[in-house]
Amino acid sequence: MFVDSHCHLDRLSEHTHDGDVDAALAAARAAHVSQFLAIAVTLDDMPGLAALARRHQDVAISAGLHPLAKVEREPNVEMIKEAAEQFAAVAIGETGLDYHYRDRVSIEVQHERFKRHLIAATELELPVVVHTREAKEETLALLREHTDPNVAGVLHCFTEDIEMAREAIRLGFYISLSGIVTFASAKSLRELARVLPLDRLLIETDSPYLAPVPHRGKPNEPAWVVEVAECIAAERGISVDEVAMQTTANFYRLFRGAAPDAPPHVQQALAQAGLV
């Protein structure tokens, strides 16, 4: 049993099951992926994501504005909170800082946007989904200032160094690894996969982006989160079942709003992990 903790179901490629989200989800379930967190890139995504979640019991959604998304009006804290509450989001984000593409959205705007999301997450007591790239110190500084360690969140699609990962964990956050960990060039990420506490790891696809080996070059899809788990298991010298069980328990520990209507086999996993 696996969880795809970060996917963009409303942006799946037309080359993925002919663009049929229902078919992509069915393929993932056949690969034993039992839960999906569909991530918002803008608040305008929310109605469509909410409709998708209503059709599929195993899909939960977030509410937020990506750090690189361009919008006519920047949402304030209340707008973010209202969207999350109206559409029953279980998380805030994705949000964060991306200095690699600072020419797309200015650093000043990214900082203010990130801060507003962190405040909204704290006030709603919802975990925050953080996108961070080449902005280590600034990201950690804002997390220290504006997050509650009892709620915290996840640094998704993590590609930074082990020092940042350890500090984020100290602040109560989880670290999520994507298909990048399978790339031949990602030796430092595989080292991180070996040494970080397993009870602080999540797995994701970030689909339709970043397809893992052996699917590189193709549009990614939720079923392929299994390859991420297999890579982590190989690096740690443990079974894939252990990675699946622990990362699933971690997901529901963090995103509690996704758990109440989970199917019986998920409830069993929660009970075994002492979460219900």
Q: Which domain holds residue 50?
A: 2-272
**Full pLDDT tens readout for the chain, 276 residues:** 999 999 999 999 888 898 899 999 999 999 999 999 999 999 999 999 999 999 999 999 999 999 999 999 999 999 999 999 999 999 999 999 999 988 999 999 999 999 999 999 999 999 999 999 999 999 999 999 999 999 999 999 999 999 999 999 999 999 999 999 999 999 999 999 999 999 999 999 999 999 999 999 999 999 999 999 999 999 999 999 999 999 999 999 999 999 855 555 555 655 665 545
**Plot region of 172 (φ>0 → left; ψ -120 to 50 → alpha; else → beta):** left
Cβ neighbours, 10 Å, residue 250: 25
- The per-residue pLDDT for 273 is 53
Say if CB 193 and CB 236 are below 8 A apart.
yes
Whole-structure pTM value = 0.93
- The closest alpha carbon to 20, from 215, 28, 258, belongs to 28
Cα four-point dihedral sign 27, 32, 35, 38: negative
Using DSSP's 3-state secondary structure scheme, residue 183 falls into: coil
Q: Which residues pair with 98 in a beta bridge?
A: 133
Give how many domains the chain has, as a whole number.
1
Q: Compute the distance between CA of residue 25 and CA of residue 152 in angstroms, rounded to an integer.
A: 28
Integer distance in angstroms from the first to the last C-alpha of the chain?
18
Query: Which CATH number do you get for residue 123?
Result: 3.20.20.140
* Phi and psi torsions of 48, nearest 5°: -65, -40
